[in-house]
Amino acid sequence: MIKGISEISLAGILGEAGNLSGFSHGNSLLRHAGLHLAEASSGKWKGQIVISKRGRSRLRRFLYLATMSLVRNNPEFKAFHTNNVKVKKMKKMKSIMKLVGKLVRIFVGIARRNEAYCPNKVKEIVPLAV
């Protein structure tokens, strides 16, 4: 279990997504939730790239809430978010959405390999120069 995620959030994610080991990659779970990127364009007109929202809305909500909880309570995700916002100058919501993708990939990897969460396997971040 990942420190910072409640059992209710985890149950909601598993209830909406089903068996996570059935997904080939985290990106397929993102597509199932409707969190993949889509572009609205027609002919010569090129639109913006946005989140498609064509998927399970409750799964999106549970993933968002779990990520927000991780950013507040988990040191690894808190460091990722701080690095995204302060160093990479990313907007806060864009950073959260990026971390949702990271969380989904971690979940699918854990389920497919049938192993426990190890914070040492999460990519190391260079500390901020304060």
Give residue-wise pLDDT tens across range 3-37. 899 999 999 999 999 999 999 999 999 999 999 88
Residue 61, pLDDT above cutoff 50: yes
- The stretch 80-84 carries a mean pLDDT of 95
Percent helix, strand, coil in the chain, to 5, is 60, 10, 30
Asked whether 74 and 3 are in contact (CB, 8 A), the reply is yes
- The stretch 71-95 carries a mean pLDDT of 94
**What per-residue confidence (pLDDT) applies to 124?**
57
Strand partners, 38: 50
Q: Residue 50 — φ and ψ, nearest 5°?
A: -135, 170
Question: Across the chain, what does the average pLDDT equal?
Answer: 89
How many percent of the chain have pLDDT more than 70? 94
Establish how many alpha carbons lie within 13 A of residue 69's alpha carbon, considering only the half-sphere containing its beta carbon.
16
Which two structure tokens, joined as six digits, stand for 22?
Answer: 């059935």
Q: Residue 8 — φ and ψ, nearest 5°?
A: -70, -45
Whole-prediction pTM: 0.87
